[in-house]
């Protein structure tokens, strides 16, 4: 960071996902910014399922933090504590802050380096290729999209999706849910609703057999667990513990300031904002928080701080179904087929997101499958 920034405020961003990475990028030239993340890379999360069936896709959707964050300090570590003036890392480093942004989202078992992440995708791809039958547990957006990717790229494989709910995609309306179910059935995916699976499999020859809560037996060469992950409990040991709701999320004002903390902000899935947890909304949180941190650093009028209010009614939701189709829940209608596919499924917004992060879109030739 250049000497011209020597008098600038210290901003610490915890978490290098969609919201945290964007905040670090946007604030790096107007403050002493430290980004703390347990991995050295930024990942576009809604592209990771495509990378499992096409590992080269991850070359664009996974990139090092330093590519978009050249003017700040990157600390590769977990945060274990926060007090009124410092953040403490798992390595014992105390990093002081004037302004803090918590953007840790859900707990994910990511490897530390980009190279390791790319190898993971290669391994997942080989696992899918080597399997004739695949079990997917969880019928939320991750499970549905993974089933769609495999069904389109590997139509010869037997895919079974088990979901404990009465319908798929329970975060969207029933019409969108039904459209997704009909599409999966049309692709020969077997969908079992209102059932859970005992993943303590019993080997039957080379295949594993799994028992459902209704007594059905599923034979599969491999399985993928696609259920919601917790936000983590580390904040309960910090000065922010009294600002957590019953689910461990940080309670925030409309300004994205953590309740009771003028100089601490929270963005993304870690907030208690009542809305669907989606990447494009996390970035909207970040945009408001960035404006407010800049205003506070410059001594501006606090009555002019930006606010974020979740939209009322049915939110916007796009679920890709393979490479060419999808389901879209819009404020006043639900559509499926090629039009939602054109919006999301072809490139999964990877080029657009890279551009938002200051990188070249590097639009690759989309692979066409059945």
- According to the model, what pLDDT value does residue 366 have? 40
Could you give the 3-state DSSP secondary structure of residue 271?
Answer: strand
Give me 114's structure tokens. 């980009």
Q: List pLDDT tens digits, range 161-191.
A: 999 999 999 988 899 999 999 999 999 999 9
The CATH number given to whatever domain includes residue 84 is 3.50.50.60
* Gap between the Cα atoms of 153 and 369, Å rounded: 6
* Gap between the Cα atoms of 43 and 116, Å rounded: 13
> Domain check: are 283 and 157 in the same one?
no
> Domain check: are 210 and 318 in the same one?
yes
> Domain check: are 84 and 135 in the same one?
no
> Domain check: are 88 and 21 in the same one?
yes
Name the strand (E) or helix (H) holding 364. Answer: none
> Domain check: are 96 and 145 in the same one?
no
Which residues make beta-bridge pairs with 63?
Answer: 42
Strands (E), 110-240: 133-137, 158-163, 190-193, 197-204, 207-212, 217-220, 222-225
Q: Kindly indicate the confidence band of residue 108, based on its pLDDT and cuts at 50, 70 and 90.
A: confident
* Gap between the Cα atoms of 360 and 345, Å rounded: 20
pLDDT at 205 over 70: no
> Domain check: are 156 and 102 in the same one?
no
**Residues above pLDDT 90, as percent of the chain:** 82
Phi and psi at residue 46, to the nearest 5° = -75, 0
Do residues 319 and 141 lie in contact, with contact meaning Cβ atoms separated by under 8 Å?
yes
> Domain check: are 222 and 233 in the same one?
no
Q: Which of 21, 101, 107 is nearest to 68 (CA)?
A: 21
The CATH number given to whatever domain includes residue 195 is 3.50.50.100
CB burial class (10 A; 0-12, 13-18, 19+) of residue 67?
middle
* Gap between the Cα atoms of 60 and 55, Å rounded: 10
Q: List pLDDT tens digits, range 227-283.
A: 988 888 899 999 999 999 999 999 999 999 999 999 999 999 999 999 888 899 999
Give me 283's structure tokens. 């970035």
Q: Is residue 60 part of a domain?
A: no
Which of 263, 282, 304 is the endpoint of a domain? 304
- According to the model, what pLDDT value does residue 178 have? 96
Q: List pLDDT tens digits, range 16-61.
A: 999 999 999 999 999 999 999 999 999 999 999 999 999 999 999 9
């Amino acid at each position: 960071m250049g000497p011209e920034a020597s008098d600038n405020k210290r901003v610490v961003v915890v978490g290098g996902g969609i919201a945290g990475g964007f905040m670090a990028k946007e604030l790096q030239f107007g403050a002493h910014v430290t980004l703390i993340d347990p991995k050295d890379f930024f990942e576009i999360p809604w592209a990771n399922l495509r990378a499992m069936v096409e590992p080269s896709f991850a070359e664009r959707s996974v990139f090092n933090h330093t590519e978009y964050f050249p003017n700040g300090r990157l600390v590769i570590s977990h945060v274990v504590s926060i007090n009124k003036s410092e953040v403490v890392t798992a390595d014992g480093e105390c990093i002081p802050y004037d302004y803090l942004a918590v953007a840790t989202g859900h707990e994910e078992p990511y490897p530390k380096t980009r190279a390791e992440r790319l190898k993971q995708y290669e391994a997942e791809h080989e696992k899918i290729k080597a399997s004739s039958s695949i079990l997917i547990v969880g019928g939320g957006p991750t499970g549905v999209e993974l089933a769609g990717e495999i069904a389109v790229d590997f139509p010869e494989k037997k895919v079974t999706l088990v979901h404990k709910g009465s319908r798929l995609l329970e975060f969207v309306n029933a019409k969108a849910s039904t459209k997704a179910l009909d599409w999966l059935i049309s692709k020969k995916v077997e969908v079992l609703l209102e059932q859970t699976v005992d993943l303590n499999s019993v080997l039957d020859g080379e295949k594993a057999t799994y028992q459902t809560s209704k007594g059905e037996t599923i034979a599969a060469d491999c399985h993928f667990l696609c259920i919601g992950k917790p936000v983590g409990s580390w904040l309960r040991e910090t000065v922010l513990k009294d600002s957590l709701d019953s689910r461990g999320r940080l309670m925030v004002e409309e300004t994205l300031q953590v309740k009771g903390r003028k100089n601490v902000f929270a963005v993304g899935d870690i907030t208690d904002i009542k809305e669907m947890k989606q990447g494009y909304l996390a970035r909207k949180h970040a945009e408001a928080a960035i404006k407010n941190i800049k205003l506070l650093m410059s001594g501006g009028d606090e009555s002019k701080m930006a606010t974020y209010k979740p939209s009322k009614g049915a939110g916007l939701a796009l679920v890709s179904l393979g490479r060419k189709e999808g389901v879209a829940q819009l404020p006043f209608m639900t559509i499926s087929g090629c039009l939602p596919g054109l919006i999301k499924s072809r490139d999964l917004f990877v080029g657009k997101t890279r551009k938002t992060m200051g990188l070249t879109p590097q639009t690759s030739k989309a692979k066409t499958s059945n």
